[in-house]
């Protein structure tokens, strides 16, 4: 498949270089997975679903704070619960669960590397993984407790299955089917839809109408069948109503309603955000396509990646509730296309990218160190006031271990970017090293500041201290899914919906401006609070006044 690229001179990736790239990937991957609470918004509700499995061992019905939550299938939640249980003697449950993200992200990088090697040659595996690792959109999301990381793994395995199918039909078909299955059990019908449209589009090209590919497709269908049927069948056996809610109300019917509604105001959302989400891989991918424009639709590798990207872009642009995180699968074909540019990108352009990355991340690193020192010394610098205003009530303290890690990483980064020579591949590596440094600074010296504003732990502790030891129940009004999850995890509190007439306490979620509750008469406010870093989101606790 990579005959054109095999003719180009490649710099061999020696065992020493491979070891360095492995260590770089490991540091980027593991940093930030432990050491902080579940963060609002996505981590909070995700962990609530995981916590239910840990407590009650219910592996069929996703449940949040005692109520079924049928938005997504439970594969990621199963995996996270297994990690949390296995590591519970050593790590808090939420930290152990977050390691499932590390597991899926590692698999994603592995299959992206294997796909790059299959498509473009032996020396393109590591660059493909590093290109994905360096994408700005991966930095935070690939370390969060969210099911999208399992979908990303499924998509990476799908693309590797496609790439391998032209050479090894059976193995390619097996991996393709398992990838679709993982994607389905992670996010629902999106993975099978992508498989259907990508496969049909590839069959339009003569290079894909081969015996091997036509064998791989039915093999993939057989391999994905258990993934697509076992859990839905178990769910239907448990509750036909919940099955209909998941399959139709929250998935197929919701999408049909969105299409019929014709409200496509956000249809170009991903086109607008991809330039920064996929930076710096996107301009490299665009250059690769431009450089090969005369033969781009005659080569199987370009056909696969361009078709995959276009199908993902169109399909994901016409789904309800468009969000930035849903664009993650598109980063895979972009990163793989970026590796195709390594043999053709001009040295001047590579050096420009290199220096842009070094200068940008150097300034960001200086700002982070300067701001951290300002908070610690409580000086009157402008940047210090900005950080203080962003997290009201934060009290900084010096911790030697994060400081040593951050300082060592900074010094190593200076040595690496100073000593490493200039080339196309090295510019990509330097960018990934710089991204890793930024992430490591945030997850060491800045972690307490971030956790202060994103964790509900202190708010729930304060709320519980204002509750008596004995009470009947707490009613809840306008309590969000993330908030319900954290109330249950940190405080074992489970406000009941539609129970204002029976409970003796009432918890209301709102903003800074007090909003009237449904029945103000008979209630007395006894507490008000919120997360330290959020001056807008407020919780108010009321006590029923005896007549």
Q: Answer yes or no: do 450 and 461 share one domain.
A: no
Neighbours of 208 (CB within 10 A): 20
In this prediction, residue 9 has a pLDDT band, given cuts at 50, 70 and 90, of: very low
The CA distance from 79 to 147, in Å, is 10
The CA distance from 79 to 205, in Å, is 38
Q: Answer yes or no: do 450 and 364 share one domain.
A: yes
Please give the residue range of the domain that contains residue 426: 347-454
Q: Answer yes or no: do 400 and 488 share one domain.
A: no
Q: Which of 176-185, 278-287, 527-536 has the lowest mean pLDDT?
A: 527-536
Q: Answer yes or no: do 464 and 494 share one domain.
A: yes
pTM greater than 0.85 (yes/no)? yes
Domain end residue (candidates: 454, 483, 504): 454
Domain end residue (candidates: 407, 432, 454): 454
Q: Radius of gyration over alpha carbons of the chain, in Å?
A: 25
Report the chain's mean pLDDT, rounded to a whole number: 91
Please say if the pLDDT value at position 489 is more than 70: yes
Q: What average pLDDT score do residues 491-504 get? A: 90
Strand partners, 524: 543
Q: Answer yes or no: do 339 and 351 share one domain.
A: no
What's the total number of domains in the chain?
Answer: 3
- The burial of 246, by beta-carbon neighbours within 10 Å (0-12 exposed, 13-18 middle, 19 or more buried), is given as buried
Pairing between β-strand 505-510 and β-strand 474-477 as defined by DSSP bridges: parallel
Domain end residue (candidates: 277, 309, 343): 343
Q: Answer yes or no: do 427 and 383 share one domain.
A: yes
Please say if the pLDDT value at position 198 is more than 60: yes
Q: What is the pLDDT of residues 400-437, one digit of tens each?
A: 999 999 999 999 999 888 766 555 678 888 999 999 99
The CA distance from 472 to 280, in Å, is 56
Q: Answer yes or no: do 390 and 505 share one domain.
A: no
Q: Answer yes or no: do 523 and 376 share one domain.
A: no
Q: Answer yes or no: do 393 and 319 share one domain.
A: no
Q: Answer yes or no: do 78 and 36 share one domain.
A: yes
Q: Which of 155-164, 330-339, 348-357, 456-465 has the lowest mean pLDDT?
A: 348-357
Q: What is the pLDDT of residues 168-191, one digit of tens each?
A: 999 999 999 999 999 999 999 999
pLDDT at 500: 84
Q: Answer yes or no: do 333 and 210 share one domain.
A: yes
Query: What CATH number did the domain enclosing 520 receive?
Result: 3.40.190
The CA distance from 44 to 48, in Å, is 6
Q: Which of 152-161, 195-204, 255-264, 354-363 has the lowest mean pLDDT?
A: 255-264
pLDDT at 391: 83
Please say if the pLDDT value at position 284 is more than 80: yes
In this prediction, residue 233 has a pLDDT band, given cuts at 50, 70 and 90, of: very high
Which tokens sit at 387?
């950080």
The residue whose two tokens read 């990509």 is 428
C-alpha closest to that of 304 among 129, 176, 123, 134? 176
Q: Answer yes or no: do 331 and 368 share one domain.
A: no
The residue whose two tokens read 């972690």 is 447
Q: What is the pLDDT of residues 316-343, one digit of tens each?
A: 998 888 899 999 999 999 999 999 988 7
């Amino acid at each position: 498949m990579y005959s054109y690229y095999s003719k180009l001179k490649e710099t061999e990736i020696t065992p020493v270089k491979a070891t360095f790239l492995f260590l770089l990937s490991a540091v980027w991957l593991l940093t930030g997975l432990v050491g902080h609470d579940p963060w609002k918004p996505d981590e909070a509700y995700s962990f609530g679903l995981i916590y239910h499995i840990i407590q009650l061992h219910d592996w069929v019905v996703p449940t949040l704070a005692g109520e079924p939550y049928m938005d997504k299938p439970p594969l990621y939640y199963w995996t996270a619960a297994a990690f949390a249980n296995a590591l519970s003697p050593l790590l808090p449950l939420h930290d152990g669960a977050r390691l499932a993200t590390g597991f899926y992200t590692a698999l994603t990088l592995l299959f992206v590397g294997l796909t790059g090697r299959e498509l473009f040659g032996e020396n393109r595996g590591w660059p493909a993984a590093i290109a994905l690792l360096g994408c700005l959109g991966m930095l935070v999301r690939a370390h969060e407790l969210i099911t999208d990381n399992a979908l990303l793994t499924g998509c990476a395995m799908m693309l590797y299955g496609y790439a391998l199918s032209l050479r090894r039909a059976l193995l390619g078909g097996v991996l393709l089917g398992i990838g679709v299955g993982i994607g389905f059990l992670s996010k629902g019908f999106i993975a099978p839809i992508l498989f259907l449209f990508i496969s049909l589009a590839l069959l339009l090209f003569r290079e894909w109408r081969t015996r091997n590919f036509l064998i791989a497709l039915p093999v993939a269908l057989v391999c994905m069948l258990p993934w697509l049927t076992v859990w839905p069948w178990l769910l239907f056996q448990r509750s036909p109503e919940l099955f209909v809610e998941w399959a139709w109300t929250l998935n197929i019917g919701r999408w049909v309603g969105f299409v019929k509604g014709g409200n496509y105001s956000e249809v170009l959302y991903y086109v607008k955000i991809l330039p920064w989400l996929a930076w710096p891989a996107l301009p490299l991918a665009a250059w690769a396509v431009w450089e090969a424009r005369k033969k781009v639709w005659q080569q199987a590798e370009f056909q696969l990646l361009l078709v995959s990207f276009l199908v993902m872009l169109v399909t994901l642009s016409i789904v309800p509730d468009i969000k930035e995180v849903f664009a993650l699968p598109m980063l895979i074909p972009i990163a793989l296309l970026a590796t195709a540019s390594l043999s053709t990108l001009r040295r001047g352009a590579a050096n420009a990218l290199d220096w842009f990355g070094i200068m940008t991340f150097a300034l960001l690193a200086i700002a982070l160190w300067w701001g951290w020192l300002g908070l610690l010394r409580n000086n009157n610098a402008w940047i210090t006031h900005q950080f203080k205003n962003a997290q009201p009530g934060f009290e900084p303290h010096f911790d030697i271990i994060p400081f040593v890690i951050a300082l060592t990483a900074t010094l190593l980064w200076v040595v690496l970017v100073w000593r490493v020579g200039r080339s196309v591949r090295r510019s990509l590596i330097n960018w990934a090293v710089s991204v890793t440094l930024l992430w490591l600074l945030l997850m060491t010296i800045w972690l307490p500041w971030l956790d202060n504003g994103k964790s509900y732990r202190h708010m729930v502790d304060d709320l519980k201290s204002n509750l008596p030891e004995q009470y009947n129940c707490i009613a809840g009004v306008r309590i969000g899914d993330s908030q319900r999850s954290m109330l249950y995890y940190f405080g074992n509190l489970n406000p009941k919906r539609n129970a204002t007439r029976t409970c003796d306490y009432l918890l209301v979620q709102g903003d800074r401006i007090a909003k009237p509750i449904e029945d103000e008469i008979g209630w007395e406010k006894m507490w008000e609070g919120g997360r330290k870093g959020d001056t807008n989101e407020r919780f108010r606790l009321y006590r029923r006044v005896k007549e």
